[in-house]
A and B are shown apart, each in its own frame.
Chain A
Amino acid sequence: KAGVTQTPRYLIKTRGQQVTLSCSPISGHRSVSWYQQTPGQGLQFLFEYFSETQRNKGNFPGRFSGRQFSNSRSEMNVSTLELGDSALYLCASSLGLAGYEQYFGPGTRLTVT
Chain B
Amino acid sequence: GENVEQHPSTLSVQEGDSAVIKCTYSDSASNYFPWYKQELGKRPQLIIDIRSNVGEKKDQRIAVTLNKTAKHFSLHITETQPEDSAVYFCAASGNSGNTPLVFGKGTRLSVIA
Q: Is B97 within 8 A of A102, CB to CB?
A: no
A101-B44 contact, Cβ under 8 Å, with A42-B89, A56-B100:
no
B46 contacts A by Cβ under 8 Å? yes
A104-B96 contact, Cβ under 8 Å, with A43-B89, A98-B101:
no
Instruction: Enumerate chain B residues within 8 angstroms of A33, measured Cβ to Cβ.
Output: 100-101
Range of interface residues on B (Cβ < 8 Å): 20 to 34
The total of Cβ contacts below 8 Å across the A-B interface reads 64
Instruction: Enumerate chain B residues within 8 angstroms of A45, measured Cβ to Cβ.
Output: 100-103
* Contact of B98 (CB < 8 Å), options: A4, A42, A55: A55
CA distance A106 to B94 in the complex (A): 26
Q: Is A98 within 8 A of B34, CB to CB?
A: no
Instruction: Enumerate chain B residues within 8 angstroms of A103, measured Cβ to Cβ.
Output: 46
Q: Measuring CB to CB, which residues of chain B are less than 8 angstroms from any residue of chain A? A: 32, 34, 36, 42-46, 49, 89, 91, 93-106
Q: Mark A33-61, 1 if CB is under 8 A from B, else 0.
A: 10100000111110010000001101000
Instruction: Enumerate chain B residues within 8 angstroms of A99, measured Cβ to Cβ.
Output: 32, 34, 91, 93, 100-101
Which has the most chain B C-beta neighbours within 10 Å: A33, A41, A48?
A48
A10 contacts B by Cβ under 8 Å? no
- Please list 18 pairs of residues, one from A and one from B, whose beta carbons are closer than 8 Å in the complex, sorted by A's number: A42-B106, A43-B44, A44-B103, A56-B100, A90-B43, A96-B97, A97-B98, A98-B94, A98-B100, A99-B32, A99-B101, A101-B46, A102-B46, A102-B101, A103-B46, A104-B43, A106-B43, A107-B43
